[in-house]
Amino acid sequence: MSKKKIFILIGLAVLVLSCAKRGYITGGEKDIEPPKVLSTSPENFSTYFDKKEIVIQFDEYVKLKDASKQLIVSPPLKYGLDITPYNATKQLKLRFRDTLLPNTTYSLNFGQSIEDNNEGNILQGYRYVFSTGSYIDSLSIDGFVKDALDRETESFVSVMLYEVTPEFNDSIIYTESPRYITNTYDSLTTFTLENLREGNYLLVALKDKNNNNRFDPKQDKIGFYRELISVPSEENFKLEMFKEIPNFRPDRAFEAAKNRIVFAYEGNPEHTKIELRNGSESIETLITKVQDKDSLNIWYKPIEADSLELKVYNDTIYKDYIIKLREKEIDTMQLSMKSSKRLNFRENAFYSSTTPLKSFDKSKFELMTGDSLAVDLQTEYDEWNQRFELIFEKEEKQKYFLTMYPGAVTDYFGKVNDTISIDFSTSDYSDYGNLKVVLQNVKEFPVIIQLTDDKGKVLAERYSEAESSFEFLYLDPALYNMRVIYDSNKNKIWDTGNYIQKIQPEKVVYFPDKIDIRANWDVEQVFILLDD
């Protein structure tokens, strides 16, 4: 082979090798586009709609996610929709099982339920609208929902309009579906009700636990506008969600121990009278609360009888129980400390008792410091909750030793305690922070100002009938939520609302930011109370 041919071959080889660079399969750019609707049959915004099925064609494979929550049909359908298929598809079919109302505009709002099969890109708020009449209703209203007490508002709140007709009454929300309905969806608190006809309506919001478009006071939160609304309207409607206290209803009653009957109820037992009888004889009783349950303890001295009669009554309720008595053990007194062994300077040590207490003998309580100095001690008893507090002046960085000698406490049945010994301590003042709050723009007094954690647990509280400045001393370092309650009925607690009685919950205003309390810090915060 000539040198010329050899050089040509070498050149070709170098050229081929230089072009054969290593490469990687990238799959192209990530798809970030939501699916698109190519066509619908019948067409969206059709009139004189008389079909049993809607077909929606997409440009790619899609799937439905949380359709039971996200897909809202307005007016609601009694039997819902048959949707096929539920697996990935380019064509959704929706079949009606209901007979549609005449001359009515329907809207199917898919919310965030339609997403592409591969990347999960969401087709936001797609709506299919049609009318069984000659025109599409086009009016709308807007608004927002908020929780009346808690800082955060739940998602997926149903917002409903009930049309005011000659048959309309307030109880309609318990028995009928609304004329129009929408949903606040995930993480949103605003709502829009569209394609409405002109008229007068009741506006209601429900956290509808069983998705039946009916108000169940036992489990649902409700918010309602204070008066009937007229459509069209330019107002931005606000609905505050609250849980009603159900009407009082006696439930069951049973013998829990030889000296105690438990009576379970629903609602508020205030103003309810309870009487225990053995034949014609009335038996002395003492009533306390079962902790964390809607139940009462009915205490009585042990009696020899086969059965007892329990009568429960108030202005509207009367219930009579026959309690069969069996061989039960008698309750015995047990005292247990429920407060932390590291006492905050704002709090007292407290004990709970398994039986109600009758008397305290101060001479049989002994409280000593770590330096063996006696400390003056007072007790305060809460009969309803069967607990007592130990009240004394606390010193910084001190250890305390408490002894309750036999007979310090006597219960309802004449039993006394055994010797109880326990120790607890306090920390350094500098381990805590202090907060001064100055309120401005207070609409009316009295007010309750509370510091809470993120779950709404009240960690500190002040009540004022005139003052606008508050001090919260010895706070544990943490981030706090702060709220003010307008105590309209002056009972020193927040009161919920009632739909039938048209009572709105007491107003609550939250400070917009969290309050950062740090050890050995003094914080002053101005709180301007603004309307929503």
* pLDDT tens, position by position, 47-101: 999 999 999 999 999 999 888 888 999 999 999 899 998 889 999 999 999 999 9
What is the pLDDT, as a whole number, of residue 185?
79
Question: Where are the domains positioned within the chain?
Answer: 37-131, 139-241, 249-324, 335-427, 432-528
* pLDDT tens, position by position, 27-41: 556 668 999 999 999
Q: Residue range 182-186: average pLDDT?
A: 85
What is the pLDDT, as a whole number, of residue 153?
94
Residue (of 284, 276, 148) closest to 224 by Cα position:
148
- Edge-to-edge order in the sheet of strand 318-324: 281-283, 273-278, 307-313, 318-324
Preceding peptide of 217 cis, ω within 30°: no
CATH 2.160.20.10 at 335-427, yes or no: no
- Average pLDDT of every residue of the chain: 92
* pLDDT tens, position by position, 276-308: 999 999 999 999 999 999 999 999 998 889 999
Q: Which CATH number fits domain 37-131: 3.40.50.1110, 1.10.3720.10, 3.40.50.720, 2.60.40.1220?
A: 2.60.40.1220
Beta strands in 65-172 (DSSP E): 72-74, 81-84, 89-96, 105-109, 114-116, 127-131, 139-147, 158-163
Residue (of 374, 428, 426, 425) closest to 403 by Cα position:
374
What is the pLDDT, as a whole number, of residue 29?
65
Contact in structure between 310 and 440 (CB atoms under 8 Å): no
Non-local (6+) Cβ contacts of 508 within 8 A are 148, 149, 483, 484, 485, 486, 494
- Is the confidence at residue 8, as pLDDT, over 80? no
Residue (of 103, 50, 111, 108) closest to 80 by Cα position:
108
pTM for the predicted model, two decimal places = 0.85
Cβ count within 10 A of residue 10:
10
* pLDDT tens, position by position, 388-416: 999 999 999 999 999 999 999 999 999 99
Q: Residue range 350-355: average pLDDT?
A: 96
Beta strands in 226-279 (DSSP E): 229-231, 236-241, 249-257, 260-266, 273-278
Beta bridge partners of 386: none
Q: Residue range 486-501: average pLDDT?
A: 96
- The 3-class SS string of 412-431 reads CCCCECCCEEEEEEECCHHH
Q: Which CATH number fits domain 249-324: 3.90.1010.10, 2.40.50.140, 3.90.1820.10, 2.60.40.10?
A: 2.60.40.10
- Is the confidence at residue 425, as pLDDT, over 90? yes
- Is the confidence at residue 186, as pLDDT, over 80? no
Residue (of 77, 224, 85, 30) closest to 145 by Cα position:
224
Q: pLDDT higher for 224 or 11? A: 224
CATH 3.40.50.2300 at 432-528, yes or no: no
What is the pLDDT, as a whole number, of residue 23?
45
Q: Residue range 314-331: average pLDDT?
A: 91
Report the percent of the chain where pLDDT is more than 90: 84
- Edge-to-edge order in the sheet of strand 522-528: 469-475, 433-440, 522-528
Q: Residue range 14-30: average pLDDT?
A: 49
* pLDDT tens, position by position, 117-150: 988 899 988 999 999 999 999 999 999 999 999 9
Q: Residue range 146-158: average pLDDT?
A: 94
- Is the confidence at residue 532, as pLDDT, over 80? no
Decide whether 37-131 matches 432-528 in CATH topology: yes
Beta bridge partners of 458: 452
* pLDDT tens, position by position, 203-254: 999 999 988 999 999 999 999 999 999 999 999 999 999 999 988 999 999 9
* pLDDT tens, position by position, 266-279: 998 988 999 999 99
What is the pLDDT, as a whole number, of residue 316?
84
Q: Residue range 155-182: average pLDDT?
A: 94
* pLDDT tens, position by position, 436-490: 999 999 999 999 999 999 999 999 999 999 999 999 999 999 999 999 999 999 9
For the domain made up of 139-241, the CATH class stated in words is mainly beta
Measured CA to CA in angstroms, residue 330 lies from 122, 145, 300, 496 at distances of 63, 51, 11, 39
